[in-house]
Amino acid sequence: MKTISTSVIEKIFNFVFVTVACAGLGYSLMNQFILNHPNKDLLLVMICLFFASIASWQRKKYSKE
């Protein structure tokens, strides 16, 4: 059984993780397409982190407590 503080910390961590992944994905997409400084490795890593953060957030959101 989880305590209240643990679930609040998990929610804050998930929010921060999704926000950082979105910012990194936006930065890498801007470098790739707008600034013409392609870095495909960074783009691939940011896409993977973005999907991992969304999947983690959704898993925590719909998991039974």
* pLDDT one-digit tens code per residue, 1-49: 556 666 788 888 888 888 999 999 999 999 989 998 888 999 999 999 9
Q: What is the pLDDT of residue 63?
A: 73
**Residue that is written with structure tokens 């999907």 in the block:** 51
Q: Which 3 state secondary structure label does DSSP give 3?
A: coil
Residue 41 CA neighbour count, 13 Å, CB half: 0
Q: What is the pLDDT of residue 48?
A: 93
Q: What is the pLDDT of residue 2?
A: 58
Whether the model clears a pTM of 0.85, i.e. scores above it, the answer is: no
Separation CA 54–CA 21 (nearest Å): 9
Q: What is the pLDDT of residue 8?
A: 82
Q: Which 3 state secondary structure label does DSSP give 23?
A: helix
* Domain limits, the chain: 7-60
Separation CA 2–CA 6 (nearest Å): 6
